[in-house]
Amino acid sequence: MAIEVKTKKWGNSLGIIIPSKEAESLKLKENQTIKIDIHLTTENPLKEMFGSFKDKKDKITLEDLKEFRKETESKWL
């Protein structure tokens, strides 16, 4: 299951809150140990495009753009 949450300041640390619906669906209880995979999302995916084709010596083709779009599709949602 993948959910998107924001980090929050918690003393000198950062914490996240798992929404109650997700916690209930996963049957999470207080003081359980869980494993979390972290994938950073970009606030502006267009920033990632700059420089993506800088090593390409030929002109960028429509196929190049389609491939790049497929790779970054989930970041646009």
For residue 28, the model assigns a pLDDT of: 93
Q: Where are the domains of the chain?
A: 8-76
Q: Provide the 8-state DSSP code for 40.
A: P
pTM above 0.85, yes or no: no
Segment 54-62 shows an average pLDDT of 69
**Confidence band for 2, pLDDT divided at 50, 70 and 90:** confident
CA 58, CA 52: separation in Å to the nearest integer? 14
Residues 21-56: pLDDT tens digits? 999 999 999 999 999 888 777 666 666 666 666 666
User: Residues with Cβ < 8 Å from 75, sequence gap 6 or more?
Assistant: 41, 42, 45, 48
Judge whether 36 and 7 are in contact, CB under 8 Å: no
